[in-house]
Amino acid sequence: MQFRVFDNASQVAQAAALLVVSQVLRKPDSVLGLATGSSPVPTYRELIRLYKAGVADFSKVVTFNLDEYCHLPQEHPCSYHYFMRHELFDHINIPIENTHLPDGNATDLDAESVRYDAAIADAGGIDLQILGIGHNAHIGFNEPADTLVFGTHVSDLSPSTIQANRRFFDQEEDVPRQALTMGMGGIMRASCVLLIATGQDKAQAIYESIRGEMSPRVPASMLQAHPQAFFLLDRKAAKLL
Ligand code: GLP
């Protein structure tokens, strides 16, 4: 794992977008792992800008998102299906059938988890995985625990994650308590990982993930063992390093 520190969030987004575009230039049919949350939004805006400028072509790209809430309709404005269309897919030339998110409304969530991992494997695995990080250092929705789960699975969201997600919903009762998330194995198997963290509220999680011991209690610390994991940080998120 390596990290790079930039002056501000805009530079982080430009650097992340350049790495994504260079991946797609090298391999037009790249398989990208995508994340939601506010951290990757400036990167997605930069990718849209590069697409509109004729620099990036996503026509052969395939994507798999990290996670989706359970029991939230895909059309709900807080669903990750909605988020991805709104923040990225509707603005670039990726065929919508090339984009994948787990189905949090599947009647059999275990079968959906197996299907999702098989679809990633069938696509040849993830070339480049974009990640954000939770305040408790969760990645995807792999929450701190005594043991981490390898494959896609149902995750019970921690109180701090439910609280962090509260800002997107009208009332606390509306915030989903469970999500379907790619597991740590799925993330660690990606050939390259870009973790984006900006803002002072991520400084502690970043410090523990980079300087602390690898621990399932700090899920992002597992990336210390990944040979091609890059943390792209602004100065505020890197403040404690
Ligand atoms: C959610 C997502 C994560 C994301 C995290 C942080 O929990 N499942 O993938 O990294 O939020 O979000 P933000 O970037 O808005 O702080």
CA 20 to ligand 1 center in whole angstroms: 19
* pLDDT tens string 112-132: 999 999 999 999 999 999 999
Ligand 1: residues with CB < 6 A are: 35-39, 66-67, 132-134, 140-141, 161
pLDDT of residue 35: 98
Query: Across residues 192-202, what is the average pLDDT?
Result: 98
6 band by pLDDT with thresholds 50, 70 and 90: very high
Any idea which of 12-21, 34-43, 163-172, 205-214 has the lowest mean pLDDT?
163-172
* pLDDT tens string 203-226: 999 999 999 999 999 999 999 999
* pLDDT tens string 31-64: 999 999 999 999 999 999 999 999 999 999 999 9
Q: Counting atoms of ligand 1 from 1, which one is nearest the CA of 38?
A: 15
Hey, which of 12, 36, 131 would you mutate to test ligand 1's pocket, going by the most ligand atoms within 8 Å of its Cβ?
36
153 is catalytic: no
67 is catalytic: yes
Q: Which domains are delineated in the chain?
A: 2-227 (3.40.50.1360)
172 is catalytic: no
Q: What is the pTM of this model?
A: 0.97
Q: Counting atoms of ligand 1 from 1, which one is nearest the CA of 132?
A: 10
Q: Which of 46, 67, 68, 127 is catalytic?
A: 67
Q: Which of 65, 98, 136, 165 is catalytic?
A: 136
143 is catalytic: yes
Kindly report the three-state secondary structure assignment for every residue of the chain: CEEEEECCHHHHHHHHHHHHHHHHHHCCCCEEEECCCCCCHHHHHHHHHHHHCCCCCCCCCEEEECEEECCCCCCCCCCHHHHHHHHCHHHCCCCHHHEECCCCCCCCHHHHHHHHHHHHHHCCCCCEEEECCCCCCCECCECCCCCCCCCCEEEECCHHHHHHHHHHCCCHHHCCCEEEECCHHHHHCCCEEEEEECCHHHHHHHHHHHHCCCECCEHHHHHHHCCCEEEEEECCCCCCC
